[in-house]
Amino acid sequence: MASDPHRLSHQGQPQPSPHHSYPQQQQPQQQPQQQPQQQQQDSANGSAAAAAAAAAAAAVQADQPKKAKRKRITPEQLEDLVGLFEKTDTPSFEIRENLAKKLGMTNREIQ
């Protein structure tokens, strides 16, 4: 009788043949008591890293100048601006400068 490589042992488990190898089951390396300690250490390390990252971000923000808030123009300013740009879509520097003084704005805001 020829040997069957897929035959089962008397315990119902496959028997390895010379041509096949079955992967061995690996045993867990850590003891159950060590896992909670490792999780606590990982959590503490994560909290420390998050705190360090937040501190670094705050330091970077402190070094940068604050952005000016956007300004809203009044209806009167808008009326004058629209009137100017209806006359010319490319007003000269002098025209923008004069309008800026009249409206209490900067040349850049007129642009």
Residues 83-105: tens digit of each pLDDT: 999 999 899 999 999 999 999 99
Summarize the chain as % helix, strand, coil (round to 5). Answer: 50, 0, 45
SS3 87: helix
Angle 46-52-57 (CA atoms, 0-180°, nearest 5)? 125
User: To the nearest 10°, the Cα dihedral for 10, 11, 16, 17?
Assistant: 10
Tell whether the model's pLDDT for residue 76 goes beyond 80: yes
**53 band by pLDDT with thresholds 50, 70 and 90:** confident
**55 band by pLDDT with thresholds 50, 70 and 90:** confident
Determine the pLDDT at residue 78. 94
Question: CA 57, 63, 64, 67 torsion: positive or negative?
Answer: positive
Kindly write down the DSSP assignment for every residue of 16-49, as one continuous string: PPTT--PPPPPPPSS-TTHHHHHHHHHHHHHHHH
Mean pLDDT, the chain, whole residue set: 74
Give residue 24's Cα distance to chain centre: 42
Tell whether the model's pLDDT for residue 59 goes beyond 90: no
